[in-house]
């Protein structure tokens, strides 16, 4: 057993979700353009994905890492910033496919596909296809993602099933809803990390995080390192998750 397993008491989250925030502040603090903050943030993505893939392999967890990289609300930003972000997703997926293959990472995307530039979709499908047989960490990019839109899409899909007589309204349960979300088949996040200090969810995985443990780090995403991730994991390992029941140890 390595020191790291001891450090986490063998309790690593199966699914980590991260709201990667603070790229803009990182850039502005250095007198740089916000786009350079996003570039620095992409390097952190590489570091954290690699670290999670390593933890998955050596310590048996996490199995899923879900990163919030572009929200549906982010279209409200200046055109130049959105264009720089879209260009970065293209480059990230193109460049990172080899690393994903090396690390046995399976790529996945959640979010609406409309409005995404065709080049982003091309790289996304290429990455999905190339990594589809990998058996290690599942890396999900929330790209053009909004939780209320996801829930609305699920309601629509279930209504269609009902209208077609494929499901009776009284058969609809929580599992039906989960099965019709973009995250169908994935376990709910156990740990939700937000960087850059903001105490809000910003329309991320509202249904799925109902019992996630929250960890807000003051560190801006481009400055977030393996050590900061470990801090979140140690904190998680010390939480007492009761899910509404009483603490069995007391
Ligand atoms: C997060 O960083 C990245 C995206 C939302 C795309 P921000 O760009 O929101 O950084 P701040 O919040 O302005 O510092
Ligand atoms: C949330 O960050 C979205 C992503 C990290 C992609 P924002 O910076 O967009 O969130 P708000 O605007 O502070 O709520
Ligand atoms: Mg922000």
* Residue of the CA atom closest to atom 14 of ligand 2: 202
Within-domain flag for 107: yes
Q: What pLDDT score was predicted for residue 92?
A: 97
Domain of residue 19, residue span: 11-123+139-145+190-237
Within-domain flag for 183: no
Within-domain flag for 168: no
Pocket flag, ligand 1, residue 21 (CB < 6 Å) = yes
State which ligand 1 atom lies nearest to the alpha carbon of 26: 14
Pocket flag, ligand 1, residue 19 (CB < 6 Å) = no
Q: In the structure encoding, which two tokens stand for residue 65, read together?
A: 């890492």
Q: What pLDDT score was predicted for residue 249?
A: 76
Strand order in the sheet with 191-194: 106-110, 138-145, 64-71, 15-19, 191-194, 213-216
pLDDT bracket for residue 201 (50, 70, 90): very high
Pocket flag, ligand 1, residue 74 (CB < 6 Å) = yes
Angstrom distance (rounded) from CA 140 to CA 138? 6
Q: Among 211, 213, 217, 205, which residue's Cα sits nearest to residue 237? A: 213
Each residue of 140-178: pLDDT tens digit? 999 999 999 999 999 999 999 999 999 999 999 999 999
Within-domain flag for 248: no
Within-domain flag for 152: no
pLDDT bracket for residue 74 (50, 70, 90): very high
Q: What is the mean pLDDT of residues 58-79?
A: 97
pLDDT bracket for residue 57 (50, 70, 90): very high
Between residues 242 and 89, which one has the greater pLDDT? 89
Q: What is the mean pLDDT of residues 67-78?
A: 98
Within-domain flag for 198: yes
SS (H, E, C) the chain: CCHHHHHCCCCCCCEEEEECCCHHHHHHHCCCCHHHHHHHHHHHHHHHHHHHHHHHHHHCCCCEEEEEEEEHHHHHCCHHHHHHHHHHHHHHHHHHHHHHHHCCCEEEEECCCCCCCHHHHHHHHHHHHHHCCCCCCEEEEEEEECHHHHHHHHHHHHHHHHHCCCCCHHHCCHHHHHHCCCCCCCCCCCEEEECCCCCCCCCCCCCCCCCCEEEECCCCHHHCCHHHHHHHHHHHHCCCCCCCCCCCCC
Between residues 247 and 238, which one has the greater pLDDT? 238
Q: What pLDDT score was predicted for residue 10?
A: 82
User: How many other CB atoms are found less than 10 A from the CB of residue 92?
Assistant: 18
Pocket flag, ligand 2, residue 19 (CB < 6 Å) = yes
CATH number at residue 93: 3.40.1180.10
Within-domain flag for 159: no
Mutate to test the pocket of ligand 2, among 17, 20, 21, 192 (most ligand atoms within 8 A of CB): 21
Number of domains in the chain: 1
Within-domain flag for 26: yes
């Amino acid at each position: 057993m390595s020191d790291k397993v001891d450090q986490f008491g063998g309790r690593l989250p199966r699914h980590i979700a991260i709201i990667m925030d603070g790229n803009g502040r990182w850039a502005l603090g250095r007198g740089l353009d916000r786009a350079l903050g996003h570039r620095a943030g992409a390097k952190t993505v590489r570091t954290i994905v690699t670290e999670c893939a390593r933890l998955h392999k050596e310590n048996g967890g996490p199995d899923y890492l879900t990163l919030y990289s572009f929200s549906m609300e982010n279209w409200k930003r200046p055109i130049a910033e959105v264009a720089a972000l879209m260009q970065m997703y293209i480059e990230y997926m193109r460049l990172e496919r080899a690393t994903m293959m090396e690390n046995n990472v399976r790529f996945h995307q959640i979010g609406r596909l409309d409005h995404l530039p065709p080049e982003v979709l091309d790289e996304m499908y290429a990455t999905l296809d190339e990594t589809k047989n990998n058996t290690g960490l599942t890396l999900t990019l929330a790209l053009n993602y909004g939780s209320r839109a996801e829930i609305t899409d699920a309601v629509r899909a279930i209504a269609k099933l009902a209208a077609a007589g494929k499901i009776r309204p009284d058969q609809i349960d929580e599992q039906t809803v989960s099965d019709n979300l973009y995250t169908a088949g994935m376990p709910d996040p156990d740990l939700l990390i937000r960087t850059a200090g903001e105490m809000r969810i910003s329309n991320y995985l509202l249904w799925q995080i109902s019992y996630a443990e929250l960890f807000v780090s003051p560190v801006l995403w481009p400055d977030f390192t393996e050590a900061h991730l470990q801090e979140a994991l140690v904190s998680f390992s010390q939480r007492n998750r009761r899910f509404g029941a009483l603490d069995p140890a007391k």
